[in-house]
Amino acid sequence: MDNKNKNPLLAGLMNVVIPGSSQLYVNHDWGRFIGAFIIGVVAFAAAIWGGNTVQSARGYALPQGVCTGILLMAIIVVLFLSGHRTAKGRNTEVKSAAFYNSKRTVSHESDEKQHAQIQRLRDEGLISEEEYEEKNAKVSSK
């Protein structure tokens, strides 16, 4: 589990360029990426087809491409917000885990066991490198 914060702006922009790519950037989840990519491509194709169909209707007063552009812009906004929300949610999870771990009390076990437990927390991504070093220093100083 990666405990680094992800940039919500970057996740949103990546999601606009390649639908679903925010899932790879934030969660390393190939299944969700493929699903979101397929849905995104279908949505873009439907918007282009729907916009062109409406534009070609008789008596339609808007200039060519306006309807398609509006539909595409709506999809782009939804994709951006989806990627942004994915990264913000992940960052909240990381902060919550870090807060929880900072409040956890370490039992009165041997120093070796405490170091092993702190190492496991770091390896699982529940604490940052800085927290890892701080907790190890605390155990060593006792």
**pLDDT in single tens digits along all 142 residues of the chain:** 567 889 999 999 999 999 999 999 999 999 999 999 999 999 999 999 998 888 887 776 778 788 899 999 999 999 999 999 999 999 998 888 777 777 766 555 677 888 888 888 888 888 888 888 888 888 887 6
3-state secondary structure at position 62: coil
- Is residue 95 situated within a structural domain? no
Q: Which residue has the tokens 């919500």?
A: 8
Q: Which two tokens stand for residue 46?
A: 């439907």
Sign for the pseudo-dihedral over CA of 38, 74, 28, 14: positive
Judge residue 25's burial from the number of C-beta atoms within 10 Å of its C-beta, 0-12 exposed, 13-18 middle, 19 or more buried. Answer: buried
Q: How many domains does the chain have?
A: 2
Residues 86 and 108 in one domain: no
Neighbours of 39 (CB within 10 A): 13
110 with 77, same domain?
no
In a domain, 98, yes or no: no
- Is residue 73 located within the same domain as residue 126? no
Give the per-residue pLDDT at 140. Answer: 81
Residue 70's domain spans which residues?
Answer: 1-90
Which residues fall within 8 angstroms of residue 132, CB to CB, at 6 or more apart?
A: 118, 119, 121, 122
Quote the Cα angle for 31-17-68, to 5°.
110
pLDDT, position 125: 81
Q: What's the distance, CA 91 to chain centroid?
A: 8
Regarding whether 48 and 4 lie in a shared domain, the answer is: yes
